[in-house]
Structure 1
Amino acid sequence: MSDFLSDPMSLFGVKGKVAIVTGASGAFGALAAKVLAGAGAKVIAVAGSKDALDEVVGECRALGAEAEGVNRRPSSEAECDAIVAEAVQHYGRVDILVVASGKNDVAKITEMAPERFLDVMDANVTQSWLMARAAGKRMLAQGQGGKVVLMSSARGKLGHPAGYSAYCASKAAVDGLTRALGCEWGDTGITVNAIAPTVFRSPLTAWMFEDTERAKTVRAGFLARVPRGRLGEPADLAGPLLFLASRASDFYTGHVLYADGGYTAG
């Protein structure tokens, strides 16, 4: 039990582990792929955008990692099974799954067609369920446990006045899925946890970090609710990801980890 004391950082090691990252062309997915690559994992990066995917795979390889791109989306049972099959074909197993694919669609509920709501639910909930199912089957067959990390949001716990009914509902469902699978797979060695960030720096939010009057106004209103007094940076997600993907989190499952500077605490 004390084998880690001579090298506590070994608890966070993922070297040689095989990690699937969906949504690898997005802000968090690309970060996740590169963090795991930099830590020595073998990365299967998955995305629908071929050009962006090739760029991420190249960056992972530049960090000295083995990495392959899979130009698919986790949009059906067949696609998710194919993603896992490609990981096994390349590296023989699956140890880590990071589901970073998803979407948002902002509109007042009275102005949102049901099809748009269902599209968000499919992208954020159904695809998480399908991907966890596909990777989980492989992990169970291997019999050596595994790590599943889903992508939630502070909006899974908190509402929003600006037309987030689809997004908030979908992320609350991801939280429920995280808890359900954490219980279902609790005795198998497979842990299932979620990272729930608030606003962090990405191409989509870059304007909020700018020195414009609009950005200052929006930022001030938001930061009034953030005890840490700043917006999130990519490194704020990298640490939680590495924790949840490594044996450091072996006793943590069904947990939603809020990377939010205290936003949901108050």
Structure 2
Amino acid sequence: MDDATPDWLKNPARLFDIRGKVAVVTGASGAFGMLAVKVLAGAGAKLVLAAGNGKALDEAAAACNAMGAEVACVALRPNTEADCDTIIQTGIDAFGGVDILVVGSGMNDPCPIVDMPLERFESVMDGNVTGAWLICRAFGKHAIARGRGGKVVLVSSARGKLGHPAGYSAYCASKAATDGLTRALGCEWGKYGITVNAIAPTVFRSPLTAWMFEDNEKANGVRAGFLSRVPLGRLGEPEDLAGPLLFLVSRASDFHTGHTVYADGGYTAG
């Protein structure tokens, strides 16, 4: 290549380089959160891990340390304004600032709507929407004042687009709201160089879904019914989410914002 060739084209993999970036991950002890911290640690980021489960948080930190990552921990969920401010401030105090926010915290509580008490609905909405809104606001205040842009990744779901018959009225509504928050902040923060996107998985291998990967009558029946609607014909693996995550937190996605990226084997395409 001649001297006129852009540096990034000489080695396009550099577009995905996040070495030295500081990333806050909420829900760091959950299935997606744990995957996210390992991917970011392996890619060379400095990490602030936030979760309510102290033991699991220590395990996540140990896994990242073993990969050579610098880690700070805060045993908090993004439940209140004060908690969210503390989470972001932990990154500022430990590493001088925060470049990336991955909102991995969330919950589900399936129940038929006619049987679901209001407080259970509100709990799902608080865990999936209000907490995400609060931690995004705390990050946004810091990133805008800092003036160096930033990356935000929320966790949505195929259920933000599709319904489900098994009592998902709260969960589907919360994930549709997550998609709306992604679009709204993508528009609002574009002028600051902050991109906001969401990853929307379907079933992927985790401690909660491990039973669906087993070879027994129940698992085989459920899996067959589900896979009949997945064009790629298999359930998701952790690495299927790792690629989209690295893309969305890196320079490679600098012209992408307000999008929900479906990591679902084509499930929502049909």
TM-score class, shorter-chain normalisation, is over 0.9
SS at match of 1:98: strand
Instruction: Number of aligned residue pairs: give it.
Output: 266
Question: Counterpart amino acid of 2:196?
Answer: V
1:198 alignment counterpart: 202
Q: Unmatched 5+ residue regions in structure 1?
A: none
Shift of 1:187: 1.3
Shift of 1:3: 2.2
Indicate which of 11, 14, 27 corresponds to 2:15. 11
1:115 aligns with 2:119: yes
2:235 alignment counterpart: 231
1:29 aligns with 2:33: yes
SS at match of 2:190: coil
Indicate which of 172, 182, 188 corresponds to 2:176. 172
Calculate percent identity across the aligned residue pairs: 70
2:153 alignment counterpart: 149
1:216 alignment counterpart: 220
The 8 Å contact of residues 72 and 90 in structure 2, kept in 1 or not, is answered as no
Q: Unmatched 5+ residue regions in structure 2?
A: none
Question: Counterpart amino acid of 2:224?
Answer: A
**Runs of 4+ residues deviating >4 angstroms:** none
2:186 alignment counterpart: 182
**Alignment partners' CA distance in 2, 1:251 and 1:77:** 30
With normalisation by structure 2, the TM-score equals 0.98
Please give the per-residue CA displacement for 1:207-262, whole angstroms capped at 9, x wherever unaligned.
00000100000000000000000000000000000000000000000000000000
Question: Counterpart amino acid of 1:242?
Answer: L
Shift of 1:115: 0.7
**Alignment partners' CA distance in 1, 2:247 and 2:71:** 21
1:258 alignment counterpart: 262
Alignment of 1:102-141 (within 5 A): 102-141=106-145
Question: Counterpart amino acid of 1:158?
Answer: L
Indicate which of 60, 69, 76 corresponds to 1:72. 76
Question: Counterpart amino acid of 1:139?
Answer: A
Shift of 1:186: 1.0
Shift of 1:2: 2.5
SS at match of 1:173: helix
Shift of 1:142: 1.0
Please give the per-residue CA displacement for 1:139-192, whole angstroms capped at 9, x wherever unaligned.
111101000000000000000011000000000000000000000011111000
Question: Counterpart amino acid of 1:18?
Answer: V
